[in-house]
């Protein structure tokens, strides 16, 4: 979807910033605790969510419900048991989701991001398999 279409649907963002690697722009909607990332061509390449904003589900399984924002990793590990880790993010490449702030108890960094399945593949070259040991008894 284009940036113009997104803005028609959800309005103007509260702020806009270049993505760290100059690959596009991220627009923040602070009131709803989410952001939309765009390529330099102006096409959506990710949606990021912070706890306290959206309700999230995947394949009918709730991740976050209104007022309840638990660690999403146990649910996601059941769908993709081999995430990668790079710069503090877990990449669930099979399902197109990243998480941060949960596996390392960084509450100020907690977020879930969805992305097109082919958009994060280049990060795997610098990634390592995530250490999921703290979740093994929870996810199995």
What's the start-to-end Cα distance of the chain, in Å? 37
Span of 10-19, 42-51, 92-101, 123-132 with lowest mean pLDDT: 123-132
Question: Which residue segment(s) compose the domain that 14 sits in?
Answer: 1-47
Say if residue 43 is in the same domain as residue 57.
Answer: no
Please state, rounded to an integer, the average pLDDT across all residues of the chain.
90
Say if residue 100 is in the same domain as residue 122.
Answer: yes
- Give 52-56 contacts, CB < 8 A, sequence gap 24+: 56/112
Say if residue 32 is in the same domain as residue 65.
Answer: no
Say if residue 64 is in the same domain as residue 132.
Answer: yes
Say if residue 64 is in the same domain as residue 103.
Answer: yes
Give 138's pLDDT tier (boundaries 50, 70, 90).
low
* Structural domain total, the chain: 2
Is pLDDT at 122 greater than 70 in this prediction? Answer: no
Residue 61, beta-bridge partner list: 58
| SS3 of the chain: helix, strand, coil, percent, to 5 | 25, 35, 40
Tell me, what's the pLDDT at 31? Answer: 83
Report residue 69 as tokens.
């924002």
Helix (H, G, I), strand (E, B) or coil at 61: strand
Is pLDDT at 68 greater than 50 in this prediction? Answer: yes
Say if residue 135 is in the same domain as residue 76.
Answer: yes
Say if residue 38 is in the same domain as residue 69.
Answer: no
Say if residue 40 is in the same domain as residue 84.
Answer: no
Report residue 107 as tokens.
């509450």
Tell me, what's the pLDDT at 28? Answer: 96
Tell me, what's the pLDDT at 109? Answer: 93
How far is Cα 43 from Cα 89, in angstroms, rounded to an integer? 23
Say if residue 75 is in the same domain as residue 40.
Answer: no
Say if residue 35 is in the same domain as residue 95.
Answer: no
Say if residue 72 is in the same domain as residue 42.
Answer: no
Is pLDDT at 33 greater than 60 in this prediction? Answer: yes
Say if residue 26 is in the same domain as residue 62.
Answer: no
Tell me, what's the pLDDT at 73? Answer: 97
């Amino acid at each position: 979807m284009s940036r113009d279409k997104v803005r028609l649907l959800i309005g103007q963002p509260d702020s806009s910033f270049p993505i760290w690697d100059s690959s596009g722009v991220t627009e923040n909607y602070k009131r709803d605790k989410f952001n939309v990332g765009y390529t330099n061509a102006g096409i959506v390449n990710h949606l990021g969510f912070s706890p306290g904003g959206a309700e999230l589900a995947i394949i009918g399984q709730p991740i976050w419900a209104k007022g309840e924002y638990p660690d999403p990793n146990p649910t996601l590990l059941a769908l993709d048991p081999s995430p990668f880790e790079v710069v503090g993010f877990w990449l669930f490449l099979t399902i197109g989701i990243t998480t941060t702030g949960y596996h390392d108890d960084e509450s100020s960094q907690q977020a879930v991001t969805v992305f097109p399945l082919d958009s994060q593949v280049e990060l795997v070259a610098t990634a390592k398999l995530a250490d999921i040991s703290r979740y093994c008894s929870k996810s199995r």
